[in-house]
A = this chain, B = another copy of it.
Amino acid sequence: MSSSTRKLEVVSPVPADIDIANSVEPLHISEIAKDLNINPLHYDLYGKYKAKVLLSAFDELQGQEDGYYVVVGGITPTPLGEGKSTTTVGLCQALGAYLDKKVVTCLRQPSQGPTFGIKGGAAGGGYSQVIPMDEFNLHLTGDIHAITASNNLLAAAIDTRIFHETSQSDKALFNRLCPPNKEGKRSFSDIMFRRLTKLGISKTSPEELTPEEIKKFARLDIDPASITWRRVMDVNDRFLRKITIGQGPEEKGMTRETGFDISVASEIMAVLALTTSLGDMRERLGKMVIGNSKAGDPITADDLGVGGALTVLMKDAINPTLMQTLEGTPVLVHAGPFANIAHGNSSIVADKIALKLVGPGGFVVTEAGFGSDIGTEKFMNIKCRYSGLTPQCAIVVATVRALKMHGGGPDVVAGRPLDRAYVSENVSLVEAGCVNLAKHISNTKAYGVNVIVAVNMFATDTEAELNAVRKFSMDAGAFDAVVCSHHAHSGKGAVDLGIAVEKACQNITQPLRFLYPLDIGIKDKIEAIAKSYGASGVEYSDQAEKQIEMYTQQGFSNLPICMSKTQYSFSHDASKKGAPSGFVLPIRDVRGSIGAGFIYPLVGTMSTMPGLPTRPCFYEIDIDTETGKVRGLS
């Protein structure tokens, strides 16, 4: 029996999330680490309730067998969310505190944007949460801040390099890039050899370069119109979506239209989520393409001389953060790309460490963003492709509320009271919505994993409605379908789910199958994914055609695809609920995250920078300056 787990006394009705979170005294994180047999040499404390687990912990466990690997996806959600994080945490509390299994929950770090804008936080809910909730929702251990800092250092380097190249001759440029030292001798810094090698120049001293080689080396000749790298900020700041920069007098008219994305949409976040080691991260960061030269050659962070500095800024962020659930089971929090505009999964590094820590018979449960068409598709085809890991079981979280919406129920709008249809029994409306559930089950089963439907019960759901969902799930080929009440009853409410998951993991019958191979064209891969959505075809804008041709010509067509699509429908049209089919998927643009390792088509118009509503939830957030306790996060 693990020493750190405990069973919670629950009350009804369920109190506010922050009151539950504040009612439980977290264990000192060293106790959680001890329970996982992590040697103190292999983690750094960040206060009393957080610790960064160092990659050296993984090196020491190389020989150890992995535990079971479970991914939690969902049906197409309402804007209120269907409790996927809560189910992920509740399941782990059940496995750890009630079924006495070694378990680690691997979750994404929430962006501060939604925390202060519309969401108030994302640490699970009710009696299934990660604690301390404020530390989880605020700065955690600084990973997103490190991403913001490194992303924006690269952005500043791009515009400043164009400025210096515009105002200096080849000779002056080269003279400043390789200045003579006190003894008058010039030398290349280490990182410069990466560009020299790329240019096929094997000379080792600046003095040896011909004027022609000097020009090629010193002049990146970046085409401003080709720059895809944007600045980022972890704040919902809609007024930075589209801006003009360089209007200061000293920038001499070198203005440029660009914009900011939310930090979690940065390619550096995707690199952090997909990297497998410090060395791998160094290479990926250096390879990130920010745009092209006027001759059409891809320009990388290493070309700008900043790949090393980016890695130094990210060197602590590569270590996942250890926290705990309300019932004392361990959590690794690492990376937090949004699932609609990015690949929506926590890090490979955290999963790999966790699988060794739990060992054979143990469980690692990780959450993939939004519906299975979004998070689970990217978990399988991008994350598992890069990690080489194979899940045994995939969970599809469903709610009566979302199924009613898919069945034709009235609009669900965040911030507005729910329509009566959602809080009074209507079995036929639920059944009508199950077409959405069926497609998520079949899409997920196609990967070769056992699929379990977890019906996340709300207080207003009736037995008839819940049973209808269970029955439908089994008929649709689910390995099992379980009603869970972990929000109201903590881990105890997910014990059946835990038992079903263990059975599913023990009865895996097929190898993992990707939706598409890598060695086919970019269009073929996009069309394979579109087909899985139910599309009858794909339509490319001129811009998209141009980008696909460019990436193909630049040799990047072998990368996986990360669709940037609305989470509110299988299609590109958020209003199309249920299981739409026969639609043509419009690809508006195609961009490349070459360092992270995927091409991402933009389906319809996807915003990469959310806004603040009229009454942002920061109106509720404050602090008791006597006790230091935070109020208003939820």
**Interface 1/0 per residue, A281-306 and B, CB below 8 Å:** 11000000000000000000000011
Docked CA distance A618–B315 (Å): 15
Residue of B nearest to A135 (CB): B316
Chain B residues within 8 Å of A245, by CB: 239-240, 243
- Candidates B244, B254, B612; contact of A243 at CB < 8 Å: B244
Cβ of A366 to closest chain B Cβ, rounded Å = 26
Chain B residues within 8 Å of A614, by CB: 164, 168, 173, 176-177
The reply to whether A47 and B48 contact each other, CB–CB distance below 8 Å, is: no
Number of copies: 2
Question: Is the C-beta of A139 less than 8 angstroms from some C-beta in chain B?
Answer: yes
Question: Is the C-beta of A179 less than 8 angstroms from some C-beta in chain B?
Answer: yes
Question: Is the C-beta of A374 less than 8 angstroms from some C-beta in chain B?
Answer: no
Task: Say whether, besides A179-B615, A191-B619, A619-B191, A156 and B309 are in contact (CB < 8 Å).
Answer: no
Question: Is the C-beta of A408 less than 8 angstroms from some C-beta in chain B?
Answer: no
Chain B residues within 8 Å of A316, by CB: 138-139
Residue of B nearest to A613 (CB): B176
Docked CA distance A538–B244 (Å): 36
Question: Is the C-beta of A518 less than 8 angstroms from some C-beta in chain B?
Answer: no
Question: Is the C-beta of A531 less than 8 angstroms from some C-beta in chain B?
Answer: no
Docked CA distance A243–B159 (Å): 14
Question: Is the C-beta of A347 less than 8 angstroms from some C-beta in chain B?
Answer: no
Task: Say whether, besides A47-B46, A47-B52, A139-B145, A235 and B152 are in contact (CB < 8 Å).
Answer: yes
Which of the segments A482-490, A553-561, A621-629 contacts the partner chain? A621-629
Give A249-267 interface residues, CB cut-off 8 Å to B: 249-251, 254, 256-257, 259
The reply to whether B233 and A152 contact each other, CB–CB distance below 8 Å, is: yes
Chain B residues within 8 Å of A436, by CB: none
The reply to whether B238 and A251 contact each other, CB–CB distance below 8 Å, is: yes
Residue of B nearest to A115 (CB): B309
- Candidates B112, B244, B312; contact of A622 at CB < 8 Å: B312
The reply to whether B623 and A156 contact each other, CB–CB distance below 8 Å, is: no
Docked CA distance A535–B10 (Å): 72
Docked CA distance A278–B241 (Å): 34
- Candidates B145, B192, B235; contact of A619 at CB < 8 Å: B192
Question: Is the C-beta of A62 less than 8 angstroms from some C-beta in chain B?
Answer: no
Question: Is the C-beta of A308 less than 8 angstroms from some C-beta in chain B?
Answer: yes
Docked CA distance A46–B46 (Å): 4
The reply to whether A242 and B247 contact each other, CB–CB distance below 8 Å, is: yes
- Candidates B177, B251, B312; contact of A630 at CB < 8 Å: B312
Docked CA distance A614–B171 (Å): 13
Question: Is the C-beta of A373 less than 8 angstroms from some C-beta in chain B?
Answer: no
**Interface 1/0 per residue, A32-53 and B, CB below 8 Å:** 0000000000001111100010
**Interface 1/0 per residue, A221-236 and B, CB below 8 Å:** 0000000000101111
Residue of B nearest to A165 (CB): B614
The reply to whether B612 and A157 contact each other, CB–CB distance below 8 Å, is: yes
Cβ of A41 to closest chain B Cβ, rounded Å = 9
- Candidates B191, B239, B632; contact of A256 at CB < 8 Å: B239
Question: Is the C-beta of A182 less than 8 angstroms from some C-beta in chain B?
Answer: yes
Residue of B nearest to A609 (CB): B248
Chain B residues within 8 Å of A238, by CB: 156, 159-160, 163, 248, 250-251
- Candidates B192, B248, B616, B625; contact of A279 at CB < 8 Å: B625
- Candidates B160, B163, B611; contact of A160 at CB < 8 Å: B611
The reply to whether B247 and A244 contact each other, CB–CB distance below 8 Å, is: yes
Give A86-136 interface residues, CB cut-off 8 Å to B: 112, 116, 134
Task: Say whether, besides A312-B621, A622-B312, A632-B308, A160 and B243 are in contact (CB < 8 Å).
Answer: no
Cβ of A257 to closest chain B Cβ, rounded Å = 7
Chain B residues within 8 Å of A159, by CB: 237-239
- Candidates B241, B315, B623; contact of A628 at CB < 8 Å: B315
Kindly list the 5 A-B residue pairs having the minimum CB-CB distance in the complex, ordered from nearest: A308-B622, A145-B145, A309-B618, A156-B237, A242-B248
**Could you list 15 examples of A-B contacts with CB < 8 Å?**
A45-B46, A45-B47, A134-B312, A138-B316, A156-B239, A160-B237, A160-B239, A168-B614, A179-B615, A239-B254, A242-B251, A243-B243, A243-B244, A282-B622, A309-B621
